[in-house]
A and B are shown apart, each in its own frame.
Chain A
Amino acid sequence: MKKNKTIPELIWQFFSSVKLAVYTLVLLASTSIIGTIILQNGTPQQYLREYGEAVYNVIKVFNIDDMYRAWWFLALLVILCINIVVCSIERLSITWKIIFPKKIKFNPDRFRKQKNLESFSVDKDAPTLFNDYESFLSKTIGKVIKEDTATGTTMVAETGRWTRIGVYVVHLSIILLLVGALIGSLFGFKANLNLDEGATSDTAFIAKKRVSINMGFSIRCNDFNVKFYDTGAPEEFKSNLTIIENGKESFTKDIRVNHPLRYKGINIFQSSYGSGKPDRVVFDIIRLSDKSVTKQSIKIGEEIQLPADQGLFKLQGFLQNYDFRGNNLGEAFIGKITFKDDKEIQIAIPLEFPTFDKMRKGAFAFVVKDYEKKYYTGLQITKDPGVWYVYLGFILMIIGCWVTFFMSHQSIFIEIEKTDGNSSKISVSGTTNRNNQGMKLKIKKIVKKLKDI
């Protein structure tokens, strides 16, 4: 042992400790709680209202409003990463020779000292027993290595040497997950796009960064449908989308919640919906003087003649929230009447209040009789080139955990010693790198079987 270590050696030593891993994990777990209690990605006003100015300054300094991307949280993840890599290299350099030995050797004394050693005697001679036991071991455990001693014969068979690699697979999987997440956050995006039925767009909006992003192709929403349960909750909603590339229709597909569309590395998800602007409506136009009713179908932007040549009516548009003297009357159509004397007035025809236009006391009153209910579809547009690293990490993590926890490197040892006459003393024991309790049971079972041979 050298007394004075160089700085790189000290750094290496720092990162190769399991203690560091434990502390980092405890810090990650405990600080993660903060983000589940304090609102994430809120507006400054929300924080000021909730916590006041002083606390808000602390929140801002430590990026607690977006803590899972804050420098100190990422630093903890980087430390964990280096720690895992250094620890694994350090230990693997030792384990590697055990996992892939040039020649498998064993030390009989180690097995003789095992706590799980069981002995019994049999009235058979050693060579017969050796043949029986060898075929038993090679059938149930693996290849048998034989060694003669002064008093008899020892044999060892082993299985699962490779399973020692399991824990390194788990560590590798964590690195893959973090690398995948890093790639995703550098080269991917998560954006939203609300499309009215019939509308086309090639730009989605990233709410978090307040920027828009061009997808490289256009999406047209041909149709949107929503089905409801009798409780009124939505049962299913789906959009019929057409992808348009370079002005040409590429293909058309339905997407539903949980059934997205993937195209050129971009994923298009059905995430929400809302009511959009209807474009055709049927009005009852009531002439107040004689109560005669004229039914008229009209599109937004269209202009029609009023009955009895009284003037013109133009349907200008549709409002989600029509405000009348401070009261929200909800969805309403907006139109303009031009009388013969060129006088113009603007009128509103709310859907929920059919008598509203009568109160204007004009020559005609408009009532919405029917309209095409239209929706907009809420799409989530994402791109994540790191997702395959993450998925590979997931698979390796499950396999690695399984191997680490439920499989082990086991060696079974049998020693045949010649006692007086024709009988032999048999000793059985085993070693394992984990689950000694299980090994104890296994030795008992093997002894039972050997006695039956």
Chain B
Amino acid sequence: MNSSLALSSATFIYALASVFYIGSFSFKKQSLAKIGFMVLVLGFLDNTLGIILRWIESYQMGYGHAPFANMYESLVFFSWTVAILYIFVELKYKESIIGVFATPLVFLAIAYASLSPDISSQITPLIPALKSNWLIAHVIACFLGYAGFAVAFGFSIMYFVKPNNPDAPTIFAKLPSVEIIDELTYQMVVFGFLFLTIGIITGAVWANSAWGTYWSWDPKETWSLITWIVYAVFLHLRMMRGWHGKNLALVSIIGFMAVMFTYFGVNFLLSGLHSYG
């Protein structure tokens, strides 16, 4: 067993989990969602194993670093964080139908990592600037934040597909009530916001210990701040201005666009200090 075998099998298991959730949703079969959940947990365990193995392999190669060093590793970890967050949400709120909006994200991230020709899965050595204990704290916090926003995005989509009439003859009528979607979206945004805050702060403290400046308006920093502001606006609109429903869901979707640009756009289109993430 090696990490690449574990991670590519995890990709297929996640695909299977998504299929079960979509099937459960389309055919209104609760049992399929139950199987989907178990498959998702299995994929998550496989994903975890892959990350641990990759960590060990990096030590065997003499590089010795946590598997958070390039785009490939970050995508694998992104899948992992979204999966664990969704598993937690399903266990806590006992709503399985929403999995159809979360599990495809888990699958897409890891599939993109494995299949895109632009993303190398090689274990590479760390440049000196990344050799710091802050790396682990910074990456974990940022990606938990991204995961919260990703799941919130999945839930926000529900507002736009759910018909107003609960008896409407469409598969989307079975979605949870607007109150529950609203609550879930809010909880996910709050979770993401707290961890993005911690992620930005650990990044700033790290930058200050590596370069002597905690903020240098590097594109990645600026975009993470833009994302943070969008979600700060979301929270103020909800709590102080009483926004709900589709309008607020739109803000959450804009926020997730900012997350995506921070994650991918900055690396592909702009230049800066971050090698990924």
Residues of A that sit less than 8 Å from B by CB: 18-19, 21-22, 25-26, 28-29, 32-33, 35-37, 40, 68, 181, 190, 229, 231, 233-237, 256-258, 260, 267, 269, 271, 380-382, 384, 387, 390-391, 394, 397-398, 401-402, 405-406, 434, 437
Cα A32 to Cα B208 in complex, Å, equals: 22
Min Cβ gap B6→A in Å is 25
B193 pairs with A26, CB closer than 8 A: no
Q: Which of B198, B204, B219, B233 contacts A36 (CB 8 A)?
A: B219
A398 pairs with B237, CB closer than 8 A: no
Q: Which of B127, B217, B232 contacts A40 (CB 8 A)?
A: B217
B129 pairs with A258, CB closer than 8 A: yes
B197 pairs with A257, CB closer than 8 A: no
Query: Contacts A22-B236, A257-B129 hold; do A29 and B226 have CB atoms under 8 A apart?
Result: yes
Cα A380 to Cα B210 in complex, Å, equals: 10
Contacts of A381 in B (CB 8 A): 212
The answer to whether B201 has its CB under 8 Å from any CB of chain A is: yes
Closest to B206 in A: A258
Contacts of B132 in A (CB 8 A): 258
The answer to whether B71 has its CB under 8 Å from any CB of chain A is: no
Closest to A68 in B: B217
A235 pairs with B125, CB closer than 8 A: yes
Min Cβ gap B18→A in Å is 27
The answer to whether B270 has its CB under 8 Å from any CB of chain A is: yes
- Mind listing 5 A-B residue pairs with CB under 8 Å? A35-B222, A236-B128, A258-B129, A380-B211, A434-B239
Contacts of B125 in A (CB 8 A): 229, 231, 233, 235
B213 pairs with A35, CB closer than 8 A: no
B128 pairs with A380, CB closer than 8 A: no
Min Cβ gap B185→A in Å is 12
B217 pairs with A256, CB closer than 8 A: no
Query: Contacts A36-B266, A190-B212, A257-B128 hold; do A397 and B201 have CB atoms under 8 A apart?
Result: yes
Chain A residues touching B, majority SS = helix
A33 pairs with B211, CB closer than 8 A: no
Interface string of B251-277 (1 = CB under 8 A from A): 000000000000000100010000000
Total interface residues on B, CB under 8 Å, equals: 44
Cα A397 to Cα B63 in complex, Å, equals: 36
Query: Contacts A22-B241, A235-B128 hold; do A29 and B230 have CB atoms under 8 A apart?
Result: yes
Q: Which of A28, A181, A231, A394 gathers the greatest number of chain B CB atoms within 10 Å? A: A394
Q: Which of A22, A28, A387 contacts B237 (CB 8 A)?
A: A22
15 more A-B residue pairs beyond the given contacts A235-B128, A382-B213, with a C-beta to C-beta distance below 8 A: A18-B236, A22-B241, A25-B229, A26-B229, A40-B217, A237-B128, A258-B128, A258-B132, A258-B210, A260-B209, A269-B210, A269-B211, A390-B204, A405-B190, A437-B180
Cα A37 to Cα B230 in complex, Å, equals: 19
Interface string of B172-192 (1 = CB under 8 A from A): 000000011001000000100
Chain B 120-135 interface residues, beta-carbon cutoff 8 Å to A: 124-125, 127-129, 131-132
Contacts of B124 in A (CB 8 A): 231
Contacts of A401 in B (CB 8 A): 193-194, 197
Min Cβ gap A128→B in Å is 36
Contacts of B223 in A (CB 8 A): 36
B211 pairs with A18, CB closer than 8 A: no
The answer to whether B1 has its CB under 8 Å from any CB of chain A is: no
The answer to whether B205 has its CB under 8 Å from any CB of chain A is: yes
Contacts of B214 in A (CB 8 A): 387, 390
Contacts of B232 in A (CB 8 A): 25
A234 pairs with B128, CB closer than 8 A: yes
Cα A165 to Cα B125 in complex, Å, equals: 46
The answer to whether B225 has its CB under 8 Å from any CB of chain A is: yes
Closest to A236 in B: B128
Min Cβ gap B11→A in Å is 27
Contacts of B131 in A (CB 8 A): 236, 257-258
Contacts of A28 in B (CB 8 A): 229
Contacts of A397 in B (CB 8 A): 197, 201
Contacts of A32 in B (CB 8 A): 222, 225-226
Query: Contacts A269-B211, A384-B212 hold; do A36 and B270 have CB atoms under 8 A apart?
Result: yes
Contacts of B211 in A (CB 8 A): 269, 271, 380
Contacts of A402 in B (CB 8 A): 194
Cα A269 to Cα B225 in complex, Å, equals: 26
Cα A256 to Cα B209 in complex, Å, equals: 11
Min Cβ gap B60→A in Å is 14
Cα A21 to Cα B240 in complex, Å, equals: 11
The answer to whether B215 has its CB under 8 Å from any CB of chain A is: yes
Min Cβ gap A96→B in Å is 18
A394 pairs with B219, CB closer than 8 A: no
Contacts of B198 in A (CB 8 A): 398
Cα A37 to Cα B269 in complex, Å, equals: 9
Contacts of B129 in A (CB 8 A): 257-258
Cα A28 to Cα B232 in complex, Å, equals: 12
In order of increasing CB-CB distance, the 3 nearest A-B pairs are A382-B212, A257-B128, A29-B229
Contacts of B128 in A (CB 8 A): 234-237, 256-258
Closest to A380 in B: B212
Contacts of B241 in A (CB 8 A): 18-19, 22
